[in-house]
Amino acid sequence: MLQSNQQYFDHQENSVEELSLQLLLFVDKRSSSQKQVRKIRTYLEKLSSEYFFKLDVIEIEKQPHLVEYLKLVATPALVKISPTPRQTLAGGNLIEQLEKWWPKWQATQEELKVKSSHNLLESTSTHGINQEVNYAEKIQLKDEIFALKQEREGLVAQLRFKDQILAILAHDLRTPLTAASMAVETLELSEQNEQLEAEKRKYLKQRLFKHAKNQFGIMDSMISELLQSSQNVNAKLQINPSSLDLKRLCQEVVAQFDSRLLEKSMIFKKDIPQDIPCVYADEELIRQLISNLLDNAIKYTPERGQISLSVLHRTNQKVHVSISDTGPGIPPETREQIFEDNFRLQRDRDREGYGIGLAMCQQIVCVHHGQIWVESSPENGSCFQFTLLVYK
C-alpha cells in the first residue's frame, strides 16, 4: 500500500502539468480540532480570492494509509504536495505558519508557471483545459486496485491447488477401486465354478467380501478427508464423542492396509495390550486420523521397511498412540511446519499427496483435547504420537 502511495506522489511531483498549488488538510473528529479546522478553512477562503489553489480535506480515520505514509504526528496538518518539494505544516499555530510560508509558495508557483508557460500553452491547445484531480480519491483507488490484484492472486492459487487435488484424487482412487472390482469379479467367478467345494466357496466369499469392504473404506476415508478440507481445514469440526474401543478400531484400520503392506514386503508390528481402556472420542474422526498416519508411514517407508503401531495407557486420564516407520525422516527445521495447511516438504513436491493430511490430523486431535507431535531425525524414520482422553 505504501509503495502505491510512493509511486503516486512521485508521479505528481514529477509532472510538469501540475503547477497549481495542491494542498491536503488532514483532520480528526475531536471538537477542539474541529474549531481549529474552521479557522484554517476561513483563512484559506480569504486567500482563495487572490490565489488559485486546490484543497482536499481528509479525515484521518478514513485514510490511515496516507497518515502512515506522510508520517503525520499531529492533526490538523496541512500538506503541500505540489509544486515540489512537498512540505508539511502541523501544530497549534498552523495559521501563523501559513502566513509565513504562503508568500514563498506563491513565489515558487509563479516561477514555475513562467518557466513552463510554453509547454502549458501547447498542452492546452492539444488536450484542452486540465480537469482538477482529487488526489485522495486517486490514491485510494490505486490502493484498492492493488488489494484486488492480491486477492486475485490468492484465488488463482486456490483454484490451482483444487485442480491439483482433483488430479491426485482421480489417480489415488484407482488403486482401491481396482482392488475392490477384482474382488467382486473373483467372487462372481467363484459362484460360477460348480466344482469348487461349498466350504472353500464360503471361505473365499468371506475373504473377498472383507477385502472389498476394506478397499471401499479406504476410498470413503479419502473422500471424507477431501470434503472436510475443501470446506476449510481451519473450520471447527463437528464431533460426536462416545465410548470408543480403540483396540478394535486399530485392528479394523490396519486390516485396510494389509494388501499395501504385503505389496511392499513390510514388517508390521502391533503392540496393543488387552486392558487398554476405552477413550472418549468420535469413532469416524479417529478412524480417519489413524488411517492418515498409517497411510503416510507406508507411503514414505521403502520396501521391506518396518511400521509399528503401539497403544499405551500412560495415566488415568490419557491413552498414548504411536505410529512409527523406518522412512527418510523429517528435517528438524520443518517438524512444526508439517502440521500447517497445505505444507509439503521440498522432497515431496513431485510426489502424490494433498498436503492437507497432517493439518487435518492436528485438527482432529485438538477437538478431542489431545496433543499430537512427531519425533524424527533424517534417515532414521519418524514416530507420530498423539493422546486421547480416557472414557470415564
- Domain stop point among 232, 248, 265: 232
Specify whether the CB–CB gap between 309 and 255 falls below 8 A: no
Sorted by sequence, the CB contacts under 8 Å of residue 318 that are 6+ apart come out as 370, 387, 388, 389, 390
In this structure, the strands spanning 372-376 and 382-389 are antiparallel
What is the DSSP secondary structure assignment for residue 282, as one 8-state letter? -
b/e for 261-281, b at 16 or more Cβ within 10 A?
beeeebebeeebeeebebbbb
Question: Tens of pLDDT along 22-54?
Answer: 888 888 877 767 777 788 888 888 777 667 778
Q: Are residues 288 and 222 in the same domain?
A: no
- Domain stop point among 128, 161, 195: 128
Q: For position 250, what pLDDT does the model report?
A: 95
- Of residues 263 and 111, the one with the higher pLDDT is 263
The residue written with cell numbers 524424527 in the block is 376
For Cα atoms 167, 173, 179, give the angle at the middle one, nearest 5 degrees: 150
Cell of 297: 508411514
How far out from the chain centre does Cα 237 lie? Answer: 18
Q: Is the pLDDT of residue 390 over 70?
A: yes
User: Measuring CA to CA, which residue among 79, 19, 91, 89 is closest to residue 55?
Assistant: 79
- Domain stop point among 128, 153, 187: 128
Phi-psi label, residue 384: left if phi above 0, alpha if psi -120 to 50, beta otherwise = beta
Question: Tens of pLDDT along 51-67?
Answer: 777 888 888 777 777 77
For residue 233, name the pLDDT band (cuts at 50, 70, 90).
Answer: very low
Q: For position 75, what pLDDT does the model report?
A: 77
Q: Amino acid identity, residue 285?
A: L
Q: Are residues 59 and 203 in the same domain?
A: no
Question: Tens of pLDDT along 62-94?
Answer: 777 777 777 777 778 888 887 778 888 887 788
- Of residues 216 and 109, the one with the higher pLDDT is 216
Out of 96-110, 154-168, 200-214, 244-258, pick the least confident: 154-168
DSSP character string of 95-107: HHHHHHHHHHHHH
Question: Tens of pLDDT along 323-352?
Answer: 999 998 888 777 777 877 555 444 454 444
**Percent of the chain that is helix, strand, coil (3-state, to 5):** 55, 15, 30
For residue 224, name the pLDDT band (cuts at 50, 70, 90).
Answer: low
Q: Amino acid identity, residue 309?
A: L
For residue 161, name the pLDDT band (cuts at 50, 70, 90).
Answer: low
CA dist 392 and 375 (Å) reads 30
Helices 117-127 and 94-115 cross at an angle (nearest 10°) of 80
Q: For position 134, what pLDDT does the model report?
A: 60
What CATH number should be reported for the domain holding residue 105?
Answer: 3.40.30.10
Phi-psi label, residue 379: left if phi above 0, alpha if psi -120 to 50, beta otherwise = left
Cell of 2: 505504501
Residue 172, SS3 per DSSP: helix
Q: What integer best gives the mean pLDDT of the chain? A: 76
Question: Tens of pLDDT along 274-287?
Answer: 999 999 999 989 99
Specify whether the CB–CB gap between 382 and 308 falls below 8 A: no
What CATH number should be reported for the domain holding residue 144?
Answer: 1.10.287
Q: Are residues 54 and 173 in the same domain?
A: no
Size of the chain in residues? 392
Model-wide pTM > 0.75: no
Q: Are residues 246 and 383 in the same domain?
A: yes
Q: Are residues 352 and 209 in the same domain?
A: no
For residue 308, name the pLDDT band (cuts at 50, 70, 90).
Answer: very high
Q: How many domains does the chain have?
A: 3
Q: Is the pLDDT of residue 357 over 90?
A: no
Q: Are residues 70 and 122 in the same domain?
A: yes
User: Maximum distance among all alpha carbons in the chain?
Assistant: 115
Q: Look up the domain containing 307 and give its range.
A: 236-392
Specify whether the CB–CB gap between 319 and 387 falls below 8 A: yes
